[in-house]
Structure 1
């Protein structure tokens, strides 16, 4: 074999050097994850209307029991419109704070956990996986600053 043939052959044979695994893509924060999924238009609008965006963008960790658009659709239309009025900002904020836990909670049965609103949230499996009265329809959506569990019902504070 001539040296030209050897050089030409070597350039076509792939390198046998071990491949390094690609580093995992960085996770998005909670707010970006909610945006990306496309199922939380009402929740994102509520976060913006209430001004409670810091937990969704902060370093966390936080757990969000996130009502999807279908969950908001279960509310009476008049009640939904009322929630987004400027004079309902405190009530809307209380509702959102009920859906947030200031730590990462993976969906395992646990003792009651306190929401940012100060009320207990309990995950049970008696009638399917639930948090309080809401069914968890998707779980463990990881974000850089926490985790999202999608629920089918908007939780309401006890004072409501």
Structure 2
């Protein structure tokens, strides 16, 4: 299966802002700075700060982050999201469930059935009708290369079991 078939029209729209970054394999910005610069990960960045994970995600890594965008977080009722952000332990478990150690590019992700998160649990990875899903959340943009790993964008927030 060609990687180009994995990116839907929606993913293309989301990834346009990352075009230069995604094709630059000598990326200068780390995962956190890339997310901040993108402008559509403000909730994720706020959550990463609240959980005290900024230094970790700015470290050498490498990491693969399955990053929910702001639209993904907007699917969570505001009261539930506020409660989660206020609970540092629960928030850390959710955020680290979105991170895999190592740099796993999309061409490799599609060959996997699962991936172990830094939180400790396994993510289920499936490919259906040319689309990639991580724990049921569709990957809508791939291979946003950073200086310390790669970001793949999710259309929903995934929760540990």
With structure 1 as the length reference, what TM-score do the two structures score? 0.79
Higher relative contact order (CA 8 A, sep 6+): 2
State how far apart, in whole Å, the 1-side matches of 2:59 and 2:37 are.
18
> Does the CA contact (< 8 Å) of 1:27 and 1:142 recur in 2?
no
Cross-structure match for 2:64: 63
The root-mean-square deviation of aligned C-alpha atoms, in Å, is: 1.7
Change (3 A) 1:126 1:25: closer
Q: Which has the larger radius of gyration?
A: 1
The structure richer in strand per residue is 2
State how far apart, in whole Å, the 2-side matches of 1:140 and 1:55 are.
20
> Aligned to 1:125, what secondary structure does the other structure show?
strand
Shift of 1:109: 2.5
Q: Which runs of 4+ in 1 moved over 2 A?
A: 24-27
The alignment covers a number of residue pairs equal to: 134
Cross-structure match for 1:101: 100
The structure richer in helix per residue is 2
Structure 1 runs not aligned, ≥5 long: 1-23
Cross-structure match for 1:115: 117
1:20-69 Cα deviation digits (max 9, x unpaired) = xxxx8642111111011001000000000010123310001100000000
